[in-house]
RNA sequence: GGAGAGGUGCCGGAGUCUGGUUGAUCGGGCUUCCCUGCUAAGGAAGUGACGGGGUAACCCGUCCGUGGGUUCAAAUCCCACCCUCUCCGCCA
């Protein structure tokens, strides 16, 4: 959520920044006006409350001195003021709640360097690595859902029987491949990131801290009976790990990584990418994450993007990096980059990683601060995260790119340690 | 799920029965200073967060698990909920 004081003091600049996202800025006017009213009420309420407290202390004193009648008179005054104070407090509370709800729905401001644009077609391609459109043989031009069926390593028909449409079920070497990819991503980032295995069912406030709620409730699975939500990404529990805490600056950046299953209802994308592994309600992902002091955030963003790329390089897949333009930026994102691998069989660039910097947007929602080594008080941390590796699409790209003329799939070198001696999936 | 105990500041731990200058006794920790002099002991002062007002010094308000209620006044009384610990039950 945005800093209300910034809206108060620099409304035009905030509006200009938000407008770059193609966002309606009238919400900001409403927030500005709401907050001004709320602040006036709180001030009045505080003054009344102070009066009531003062009078109450007098009552105590008078009773001790045995002046019952005088005490009763003061009590009457205080009671009248108290009633007025309660009325103001209620009004201020209502306005405060309204303001907070409004602020929770206003997206983050884009980074000044984020490219302008309306939608994903405006995302500039930053670089392309290892891609030769003519370098693929006919045996690699088979979509992974066909390869999967042929080799018996992807049994989506049964997944649908078990759980309904848009669920997947890798089997045999395909299942090993999925697990190996998670393992690889964790192993390659263990040098700098603490491994965490967080819960994948979380409270409403946990989902709200990252920005999924209240605006995107339809995208998440809810376990209503127990007021829990299935996490759409490990970003969600990791962001709340330090919620309502104050960390020392010397402990920053705090780097965490986690494997979790990810659950997405994909409301609005029904019927899209329904084949194979491209889009599913449940998939596996390894996420890398950091809490950082603001000054070190840009460097970390770069590093995390580099790490996402490095794993793809090690898997020897062609990929490209795109920067997300202002119109395509996610609600909480300040600046973002996607890594897309090329899948020769379905002839598509598949988004396999998204690395983002949130500035203090999530930290303000989640109340995560740090104590600067120099100076007094506390500051909000910055949060960053990125997919170290999202399994399904990398799985698809490997199955297609590593397919051999005889129809088997060679195991990538980097994954051999996880394949129990097998060098091929057949 | 059942029974019992408990949740207070950076930590430990009073205060709750008997509501009243209690942001909260005391101890520890931490910071600064003094003494001593060398990695010990002693003395003094300071030590939270958040919001608001003020050029500033500073002032006001909120916070004793959370949310309600009673009252002139709540850490203290009442209700609901959450969490922790112990025992029982169930269980991968």
ipTM entry: 0.88
**Residue A49 in contact with residue A18, Cβ under 8 Å?**
no
Asked if residue A294 has pLDDT above 90, the reply is yes
Nearest 10 degrees: CA dihedral of A367, A215, A270, A343? Answer: -40
Buried b or exposed e, range A380-401, using 16+ CB within 10 angstroms: bbbbbbbbbbbbbbbbbbbbbb
**Residue A194 in contact with residue A248, Cβ under 8 Å?**
no
Output the average pLDDT for chain A: 94
Average pLDDT on A272-301 reads 93
Asked if residue A130 has pLDDT above 80, the reply is yes
**Exposure of A342 by Cβ count < 10 A (0-12 exposed, 13-18 middle, 19+ buried)?**
buried
Asked if residue A57 keeps its beta carbon closer than 7 A to nucleic acid strand B, the reply is yes
Please give the CATH number for the structural domain made up of A4-105.
1.10.287.40
Q: How far apart are the C-alpha atoms of A346 and A275, rounded to whole Å?
A: 10
Residue A254 backbone phi and psi in degrees, to 5: -100, 115
Asked if residue A138 has pLDDT above 80, the reply is yes
Nucleotide nearest A5, from its CA to each C1': B51
Average pLDDT on A239-246 reads 92
- Which residue from A240, A247, A232, A331 is spatially nearest to A284, judged by alpha carbons? A232
Write down the pLDDT at residue A372: 86
**Residue A412 in contact with residue A402, Cβ under 8 Å?**
yes
Q: What is the pLDDT of residues A296-345, one digit of tens each?
A: 999 999 999 999 999 999 999 999 999 999 999 999 999 999 999 999 99
Q: What is the pLDDT of residues A35-44, one digit of tens each?
A: 999 999 999 9
Highest mean pLDDT among A65-74, A218-227, A338-347: A338-347
Write down the pLDDT at residue A377: 82
Which run of H or of E encompasses A23? none
Residue A70 backbone phi and psi in degrees, to 5: -60, -40
Q: How far is the CA of A242 from the C1' of B9 (A)?
A: 20
Average pLDDT on A200-224 reads 92
Among chain A residues 240-269, those with CB within 7 Å of any atom of strand B:
246
Return the percentage of chain A with pLDDT > 70, whole number.
Answer: 100
Q: What is the pLDDT of residues A101-124, one digit of tens each?
A: 999 999 999 999 999 999 999 999
Write down the pLDDT at residue A392: 97
DSSP state of A226: G
Write down the pLDDT at residue A382: 96
Please give the CATH number for the structural domain made up of A120-425.
3.30.930.10
Domain ranges of chain A: 4-105, 120-425
Q: What is the pLDDT of residues A148-199, one digit of tens each?
A: 999 999 999 999 999 999 999 999 999 999 999 999 999 999 999 999 999 9
Q: How far is the CA of A346 from the C1' of B89 (A)?
A: 56
Q: How far is the CA of A335 from the C1' of B14 (A)?
A: 51
Q: Which residue has the tokens 């108290």?
A: A82
Q: What is the pLDDT of residues A23-61, one digit of tens each?
A: 999 999 999 999 999 999 999 999 999 999 999 988 988
pTM of the complete model: 0.94
Asked if residue A37 keeps its beta carbon closer than 7 A to nucleic acid strand B, the reply is no
């Amino acid at each position: 959520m945005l800093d209300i004081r910034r809206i108060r003091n620099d409304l035009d600049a905030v509006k200009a920044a938000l407008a770059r996202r193609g966002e309606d800025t009238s919400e900001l006017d409403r927030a500005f006006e709401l907050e001004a009213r709320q602040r006036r009420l709180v001030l009045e309420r505080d003054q009344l409350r102070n009066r009531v407290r003062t009078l109450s202390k007098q009552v105590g004193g008078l009773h001790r001195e045995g002046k019952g009648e005088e005490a009763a008179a003061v009590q009457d005054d205080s009671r009248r003021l108290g009633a007025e104070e309660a009325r103001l407090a209620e009004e201020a509370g209502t306005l405060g709640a309204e303001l907070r709800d409004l602020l929770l729905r206003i997206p983050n401001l884009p980074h000044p360097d984020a490219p302008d644009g309306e939608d994903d077609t405006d995302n500039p391609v930053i670089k392309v690595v290892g891609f030769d459109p003519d370098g693929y043989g006919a045996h690699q031009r088979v979509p992974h859902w066909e390869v999967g069926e042929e080799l018996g390593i992807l049994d989506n028909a049964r997944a649908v029987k078990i759980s309904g449409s848009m669920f997947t079920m890798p089997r045999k070497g395909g299942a090993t491949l999925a697990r190996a990819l998670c393992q690889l991503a964790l192993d390659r980032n263990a040098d700098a990131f603490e491994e965490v295995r967080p819960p994948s069912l979380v409270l409403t406030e946990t989902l709200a801290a990252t920005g999924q709620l209240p605006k995107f409730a339809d995208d998440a699975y809810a376990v209503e009976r127990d007021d829990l939500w299935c996490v759409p990404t490990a970003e969600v529990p990791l962001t709340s790990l330090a919620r309502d805490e104050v960390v020392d600056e010397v402990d920053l950046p705090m780097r965490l990584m986690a494997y979790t299953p990810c659950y997405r209802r994909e409301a609005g994308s029904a019927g899209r990418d329904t084949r194979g592994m491209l889009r599913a309600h449940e998939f596996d992902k390894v996420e890398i994450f950091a809490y950082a002091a603001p000054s070190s955030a840009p460097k970390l963003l770069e590093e995390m993007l580099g790490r996402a790329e490095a794993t793809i390089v090690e898997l020897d897949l062609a990929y490209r990096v795109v920067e997300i333009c202002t119109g395509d930026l996610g609600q909480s994102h300040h600046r973002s980059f996607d890594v897309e691998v090329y899948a020769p069989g379905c002839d598509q660039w598949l988004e396999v990683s998204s690395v983002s910097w949130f500035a203090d947007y999530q930290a303000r929602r989640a109340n995560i601060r740090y104590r600067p080594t120099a100076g007094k008080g506390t500051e909000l941390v910055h949060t960053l995260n990125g997919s170290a590796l999202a399994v399904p699409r990398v799985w698809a790209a490997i199955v297609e790119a590593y397919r051999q003329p005889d129809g088997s799939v060679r195991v990538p070198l980097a994954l051999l340690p996880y394949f129990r001696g097998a060098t091929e999936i057949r």
